[in-house]
Amino acid sequence: MKKKLVFLISDLTYGGAQRQLLALAKAIDKEIFEVYVLHYYPDGPLEQDLKDAEVILSCITKKGRWDLIGFYWRLLRYLQRINPDILHSYLSIPNLFSIFFKPFLPRTKIIWGIRDSNPLDTNNLDNNNKDWLGFSLALLENFMSQFPDLIVANSHAGKKYRLSQGFPADKTIVIPNGIDTKRFQPDPVGRTKVREEWGLSPETIAIGIIGRVNPKKDHPNFLRAAAMLAGERKNLRFFCIGADEGGAEYQQAMYRLGEELGLGDQLVWTGGRSDIPAVCEALDIVVSASAHGEGFGNVIGEAMACNTPCVVTDVGDSAWIVGDFGKVVPAQNSPALAKAIEELIVANGNNKPNIRQQIVDRFSINQLALASKEAFLKVLETS
């Protein structure tokens, strides 16, 4: 009889955790597992992908932030009907919800998914704007971490940080993210299409940061480095690709910073896009400028799978992912970031290095599915 595996997440938007859940739910061995995905905010763009796969998708709608007790009981009743062998939650709030189901689902193994390295770096937040709700959730998650049967971090940095906060070492493992190397691969047609859309000549060097516009991603670092380079090279264009998730005020502050730095039409804000493989291919260099909180930077692996070189800050597992095939600089150091980008421009010329194979060999979806299957079966063997 197949084992019932239920994934629990808040929504199915284009976030990194959501896309990894999608990849694993589709790739996990269906001869062994019957797969369910539960979410509670509807109409996410990834829902259709799951509907087209061998996955049972259900939305237990949460009717607002404070719909807690009613939502809890609706979700619990649904889970009791399924009676899963494994409940695998992703991200802090679903993780906490899953623990409160444990008394009512005594045979179900609870697995947490940890997707970042440091969820809240209060040293990098203004004292008047600290996310006290996030801080409280992090403390509660640390306290409750003794209760799940297994904790899966997607990065070594994430595991190290969580162990320092009191997570149990004997229950916490690392399974790196998987990159869909069939979807993310060199695509000259996609490159041409996107670059034509952006009005780029063959001589123009396109440098981009891909990810939600959020303080953790440190767009100011990228913009300041861009301004240093723009003054020296007129054939550069800089792209900020991603949806606004830092709030309208933060987004407007980023627009103003770009103007104050004099980037003008050398800077483009594209908003969120669904054609990220073609975007990775259209860019000549991808930058991950994160200040903190990064676990496994999906966009780094995705860009490298498209054979696009990366410059990354030394946050989370970013340096481990790029290895010797990119540039690593300290976080929040714009001069170092600008210098590393310049070095890649000079080193690469018109010839990109062969970096795709590093991702194929180390971070494929198949490796993610196999490592997850082994971990899930092992936890089911424990009493």
CATH of the domain at 237: 3.40.50.2000
Domain that holds residue 13: 3-178+364-381
Same domain, 91 and 10: yes
Tell whether 156 and 62 lie within a shared domain.
yes
| 27 and 47 inside one domain | yes
What is the model's pLDDT at position 313? 98
pLDDT of residue 52: 85
Residues 261 and 215 in one domain: yes
| 163, 212: one domain | no
Is the pTM higher than 0.95? The answer reads no
Q: Which amino acid is at 293?
A: G
Is residue 25 one of the residues assigned to a domain?
yes
Structural domain count, the chain: 2
Q: How many other β-carbons are positioned within 10 Å of the β-carbon of residue 333?
A: 17
Is a pLDDT exceeding 80 seen at residue 201?
Answer: yes
Residue 156 lies inside a defined structural domain of this protein: yes
The answer as to whether 183 is a domain residue is: no
Instruction: Supply the pLDDT for residue 129.
Output: 43
> Cα(40)–Cα(59) distance, rounded to whole angstroms?
5
Q: Mean pLDDT for the chain?
A: 92
The pLDDT assigned to 130 comes to 47
Residues 152, 8 share a domain = yes
80 in a structural domain: yes
Rounded to the nearest 5°, which phi and psi values hold at 185? -155, 160
Q: Tell me whether residue 123 is in a domain.
A: yes
Residues 207 and 145 in one domain: no
Let me know whether 279 and 160 are in one domain. Answer: no
Q: What percent of the chain has pLDDT over 70?
A: 94
**Residues 216, 280 within the same domain:** yes
Confidence of residue 350 (pLDDT cuts 50, 70, 90): low
C-alpha distances in Å from residue 96, one per residue of 79, 102, 126: 15, 11, 27
Same domain, 245 and 170: no
- 33 plus 170 within the same structural domain: yes
Question: Do 290 and 376 reside in the same domain of the chain?
Answer: no
pLDDT at 263 over 60: yes
**CA contacts within 13 A on the Cβ side of 266:** 23
C-alpha distances out from residue 356 to 34, 219, 284, 298, Å:
33, 26, 14, 14
- 380: helix, strand or coil: helix
Does 307 fall in a domain? yes
